[in-house]
Amino acid sequence: MKYTHLGRTGLSVSKLCLGTMNFGPQTNEAEAFEIMDHAHEVGINFFDTANFYGGPGNPGYTETIIGNWFAKGGQRRHKTVIGTKLYTAMGDWPNDGKLSALNIRRACDASLKRLQTDYIDLYQMHHIDRRTPWDEIWEAMDVLRQQGKIIYVGSSNFAGWHIAQGQEAARRRNLSGLASEQSIYNLLERTVELEVLPAAEHYGLGVIPWSPLQTGLLGGILKKQKLGVTGRSAVKSTNERLERIRPTIQAWEDFCEKRDEDPADTALAWLLHQSAVTAPIIGPRTLAQIDGSLRALDIKLDAAALAELDVMFPGPGGKAPEAYAW
């Protein structure tokens, strides 16, 4: 495994992050335990979850699974950098969601209980809350840090402007502010290159891409369909988008085949070639998928290959405003 720092922090994390959203709805507890144990075996120390994960009608169950795994001992908690998130309402009552000081306090305590730990390494805001002032948010987060309940604060699905707002508000309070931003980022979804990545690099945030394979479209979907392998390729929305971009996906799979590399591994490798990226989130459902993802750490894409992919998957044109103005 290869490691890097999370943005400007001194925290060392693996260059692949284990996503746990499937734990509960698609992966039962015993299987999840095996996946997390194997992640440690191959050196993955960075796990991501959220308080709302767990499946329809069962929010919090994913954190409970992770907490039960921590409780097995064997330094499982000590060896794990755990990131969880808050924002989505966990109930129907007022203040059960978003980023009020009240919900930040309640949500953190509830996550700590489910995770069976006394601290969270990376506490992430799952979405911007436009109605809660930044001073209120930072005061609540600072209280949690002083209590030893959280160590770092991160954001997720923020715009570049939100990152700037948050960091400047933190600066006024002499706080370190955000350590990371978790965004959708892959060859098919490159909007973050306009302003989110420049903002993250300017303020020293590590970028944690989610959906690196874009619901399987970049994971060899055409070959899998020919072989009769189902999975995310069976999702209606995925198939509908595939039909719109089939020639591009075919060119992508041909590109990978010429290099004798798996498309999923190559998609992860492309992200790891982006300077702002700390660790893409992988969501393996089997142990073999974890092992396969490790290949991404060793795939080298030279300037010509990266340029070819830019033609195949044109991004927004670079950073703003040059991407859309003279």
CA distance 269 to 204: 22
pLDDT in tens, 285-311: 899 999 999 999 999 999 999 999 999
Mean pLDDT of 136-153: 98
Return the structure tokens found at 40.
Answer: 């440690």
Mean pLDDT of 277-288: 95
Please name which of 289, 297, 255, 249 lies closest in space to residue 272, comparing C-alpha atoms.
297
- Lowest-confidence range among 46-50, 209-213, 225-229? 225-229
pLDDT in tens, 52-104: 999 999 999 999 999 999 999 999 999 999 999 999 999 999 999 999 999 99
- Report if residue 318 sits inside a domain: no
- Report if residue 178 sits inside a domain: yes
Mean pLDDT of 161-180: 98
Is 53 in the active site? yes
Residues in the chain: 326
pLDDT of residue 235: 82
Residues 6+ away with beta carbon under 8 Å from 301: 266, 269, 270, 273, 309
- Report if residue 253 sits inside a domain: no
Mean pLDDT of 198-225: 97
Angle between helical axes of 61-70 and 29-41 (0-180°, round to 10) = 60
Residue 272 belongs to domain spanning: 3-215+263-301
pTM for the whole thing?
0.96
Place of tokens 């982006």: 274
- Report if residue 324 sits inside a domain: no
Dihedral sign, Cα of residue 191, residue 187, residue 17, residue 230: positive
- Report if residue 166 sits inside a domain: yes
- Among residues of the chain, what percentage have pLDDT more than 70? 98
- Report if residue 238 sits inside a domain: no
Mean pLDDT of 162-176: 98
Q: Are 5 and 11 in contact (CB under 8 A)?
A: yes
- Report if residue 207 sits inside a domain: yes
Q: Catalytic: which of 3, 53, 203, 324?
A: 53
| CATH label of the domain that carries residue 57 | 3.20.20.100
Number of folded domains that form the chain: 1
- Report if residue 316 sits inside a domain: no
